[in-house]
Structure formats: C-alpha cells, structure tokens
Amino acid sequence: MSRLALAAPLLLAPILGLAACGQDAPSTPAMTPAKPVHVLTEAEKASLLAALPAPYNAGDLENGRRAFARCRSCHTIGEGGADMAGPNLYGVFGRKAGERPRYNYSNAMRTANFTWDADKLDHWLQNPRGFLPGNKMTFPGLPDAKDRRDVIAFLKVETGYKPEPAPAS
C-alpha cells in the first residue's frame, strides 16, 4: 500500500466531517427582511399627483426632484427616514405643522396651529421667515413659483403614498 493511499482517508475525514456537520446543523434562521420599500407604479404616481389642487396637479416631477436638491441637505423624505437639521418629511401632507414625533421643533413651529397642504407649503417655501416668524428653518425660500409648484408635486408623490386600496371608481 502506498503512503498516499494511507493518507487519503485521514485528509478526507475532516472534510467529510464538516459536510456532515453542515447537514445536521439546524438551518440558519433567515435574516429578518427589512420592510420592503414600496416602489410606486406610474399609475400610483399619477393618482397622487391628481389628488392635488391646481396648479400643483400639473407639476413637473422631474423639475421638482431637481428643486428638492436644495432641501436634501436638511430633509430626508423616505418612509422611516432620519431627521437631520430638519424633520423627515414623509407623510407631511395632512399632518399638523410641527408634529413629527421626537423632532425638536422651534417653539414657533411646535405651537403653530395648521395642517400642511399644498397652499400652505407654497407660502412656507416662498418665504419661510415671513410665513412663520421665529421658526428655525434657515432656508431663504424658493422665489420661483414654478419651482415651488413642482417641488410640492414631487413631495406629494414621494411622501403621500398610503397603502390603503384606492376606492373603486
């Protein structure tokens, strides 16, 4: 018998052992998948946009996305997104101003008594300081009405999705 023939089982044993172990071991628990992010269909985007009053319902979403670049340094918009200098804006339409839990608003914003809709956002974004004196959003505003219309349309589409089934029409 050659030395090789003797050595072979010894070399193989650990490998076989490992394989057997792998078979016997309880299957690894699957990692809890992160909540899937809902990717809006074109139809869902269109119906969110159509839910806005004029002129916002004619907003140009691509220009809105570009205009929103000026907000991104302070705001996230995705569901569950972090608060940065400014609060996460998911679900802002229909939410009372200054109501995002755990975000540290100015007193002016926290005690402001109104609900965000497209017109309120328009006035806010035109001149944040004039709209709500004492607020702490250090942003001069978007002077261009079309940029405001488009950023509001973009925000509605990006932050306004609610998973309830749409009423049958």
Smallest gap, in angstroms, from Cβ of residue 162 to ligand HEC?
17
Measured from the CB atom, the residue of 59 and 86 that comes closer to ligand HEC is 86
Measured from the CB atom, the residue of 52 and 151 that comes closer to ligand HEC is 151
Among 136, 119, 19, smallest CA distance to 128 is for 136
Measured from the CB atom, the residue of 27 and 156 that comes closer to ligand HEC is 156
Smallest gap, in angstroms, from Cβ of residue 40 to ligand HEC?
19
Q: Taking a C-beta distance cutoff of 8 angstroms, is the pair 13, 126 a contact?
A: no
The amino acid occupying position 159 is: T
CA distance 67 to 34: 30
Smallest gap, in angstroms, from Cβ of residue 166 to ligand HEC?
25
Enter the tokens of residue 96.
């009372």
Measured from the CB atom, the residue of 20 and 103 that comes closer to ligand HEC is 103
Smallest gap, in angstroms, from Cβ of residue 59 to ligand HEC?
13
Smallest gap, in angstroms, from Cβ of residue 100 to ligand HEC?
5
CA distance 57 to 76: 23
Sign of CA dihedral 90, 85, 57, 115: positive
Enter the tokens of residue 73.
């340094």
Among 151, 103, 100, smallest CA distance to 124 is for 151
Binding stretches for ligand HEC (CB under 6 A): 70-71, 73-75, 85-87, 89, 92, 97-98, 100, 105-106, 108-109, 116, 121, 125, 135-139, 142, 151
Measured from the CB atom, the residue of 44 and 83 that comes closer to ligand HEC is 83
